[in-house]
Amino acid sequence: MSTPCLPNTLTSSPLSARFPTNFTHVVAFISVVREGSFARAADRLGVGRSAVSRSVRKLEDHVGARLLSRTTRSVSLTNEGRTFYDACWPGVERIVLAMEELQELRAGPPTGELRIAAPQSFGRQVVAPLLAEFQALFPELSLELLLGEGAVDFAADRIDVAFRDGDLEDSRVHARLLAPMQLRVHASSDYARRHGLPASVEDLSRHACINLRLPNGRLQEWHFRREERMHAVTPDARLVFNDPSLVLQASLDGMGLAQLPACIGRDAVTTGRLLVCLDHMAPDNRSHYICYLSRRQQPARIRAFVDFMTSRIRGAA
């Protein structure tokens, strides 16, 4: 009665860790049939022979029929056992094939679609410029970048990877630190020439400020570190936008001061178009993160994207 054994994808670890109890009994039965003995089935499944024997007895009790004829030298199918085996094996085989396909997807080169969510400015200034290089490395991947300031619902929005700024509160999300999120007060060189720059938080009241309207309707607080404690203020703003990129552009146009993540204003600061002030009070308790739902059994596309972005963004920080 010797037939090919069950593939390793189904039998490489104890069954109790992989399947519900009733299915465990079915797999034990099928393994005995395919291996031709309880001993070889036990070795294949990585459990004791007595555990395999108990599973088969429980299955027989459950279906109300004897499925295997046992002697001291051999094991054979009863008529009921043959009928049951012929009905079960195609389904188990499909499960085995599905598991093998998923393992190949995880082990092979990244393919398929990747949906990415990011805050608007971080997505435009940091993530989007890196996508061409990433796609050149992994041409079989299709990418979709979704920008927005609201909270990300990984399941409802079918998001694979999300970038987040600030503090993380969702314990279900696994996050990898990319870089500290440095909040800096920026002003154009033209604005500084005309109005000077503030020397303290109190000086903000004498300056034109540009602020961001958050998705919840509130104005963005400006954060500062004073005497090792964090302080938040909401300055009176002459201009308010609901898009961080517009806040950046208004600051570049000399229309006022704006507190922005350093990564967003970095190029303008490097070229001298923006100046930084109150840097001695810049907060240091926030960070940029790349987030995903599971640390285990990640598809290759997610692993590749997370590793690539972590390396590039950390290298540029």
Whether residues 307 and 165 share a domain: the answer is yes
Domain of residue 246, CATH code: 3.40.190.290
Whether residues 175 and 295 share a domain: the answer is yes
Q: Which is it for the CA torsion 34, 36, 41, 43, positive or negative? A: negative
**Distance between CA atoms of 217 and 212, rounded to whole angstroms?**
10
**Distance between CA atoms of 168 and 232, rounded to whole angstroms?**
18
Segment 205-222 mean pLDDT:
92
Whether residues 158 and 303 share a domain: the answer is yes
Q: Is 24 a member of any domain?
A: yes
Higher pLDDT: 140 or 285? It is: 140
**Domain total of the chain:** 3
CB atoms within 10 A of CB 216: 8
Residue where one domain finishes, among candidates 107, 135, 152: 107
Whether residues 96 and 156 share a domain: the answer is no
SS3 call for 130: helix
Q: Where in the sequence is the domain holding 134, given as residue range(s)?
A: 112-180+287-316
DSSP secondary structure of 131-169: HHHHHHH-TTEEEEEEE-SSPP-TTTTT-SEEEEEE---
Q: Is 136 a member of any domain?
A: yes
The angle that helices 38-45 and 21-35 make with each other, rounded to 10 degrees, is 120
Higher pLDDT: 88 or 222? It is: 222
Whether residues 48 and 171 share a domain: the answer is no
- What was the pLDDT predicted at 286? 79
40: left (phi over 0), alpha (psi -120 to 50) or beta: alpha
Segment 287-298 mean pLDDT:
78
- What was the pLDDT predicted at 314? 87
Helix (H) or strand (E) holding 77: strand 75-77
Q: Is 120 a member of any domain?
A: yes
Helix (H) or strand (E) holding 233: strand 229-233
- CB within 8 A of 7, min separation 6: which ones? 96, 100
Whether residues 158 and 126 share a domain: the answer is yes
Whether residues 19 and 81 share a domain: the answer is yes
Q: Is 60 a member of any domain?
A: yes
- What was the pLDDT predicted at 10? 46
**Cβ atoms 222, 212 nearer than 8 A:** no
Per-residue pLDDT tens digits for 144-177 = 999 987 778 887 788 999 998 876 555 567 888 8
**Distance between CA atoms of 133 and 89, rounded to whole angstroms?**
46
Q: Is 147 a member of any domain?
A: yes
- What was the pLDDT predicted at 300? 82
Q: Which two tokens stand for residue 22?
A: 């009733």
**Distance between CA atoms of 20 and 17, rounded to whole angstroms?**
9
- pLDDT grade for 193, boundaries at 50, 70 and 90: very high
Percent of the chain having pLDDT more than 90? 39
**Distance between CA atoms of 98 and 106, rounded to whole angstroms?**
13
Whether residues 299 and 173 share a domain: the answer is yes
Whether residues 189 and 175 share a domain: the answer is no
- The β-bridge relationship of strands 141-147 and 112-118 is parallel
**Cβ atoms 45, 55 nearer than 8 A:** no
The angle that helices 300-316 and 79-107 make with each other, rounded to 10 degrees, is 20
Between the two ends of the chain, the Cα-to-Cα distance in Å is 65
**Cβ atoms 45, 13 nearer than 8 A:** no
Q: Is 3 a member of any domain?
A: no
Residue where one domain finishes, among candidates 83, 107, 131: 107
**Distance between CA atoms of 242 and 251, rounded to whole angstroms?**
14
Whole-model pTM? 0.57
Domain of residue 165, CATH code: 3.40.190.10
Whether residues 253 and 118 share a domain: the answer is no
Please report, as a single letter, which amino acid is at residue 222.
Answer: W
Residue where one domain finishes, among candidates 107, 134, 150: 107
Whether residues 69 and 31 share a domain: the answer is yes
Q: Is 236 a member of any domain?
A: yes
Q: Which range, of 53-62, 184-193, 201-210, averages the lowest pLDDT? A: 53-62
Please report, as a single letter, which amino acid is at residue 25.
Answer: H
- CB within 8 A of 285, min separation 6: which ones? 167, 225, 230
Q: Is 175 a member of any domain?
A: yes
Domain of residue 19, CATH code: 1.10.10.10
Whether residues 160 and 298 share a domain: the answer is yes
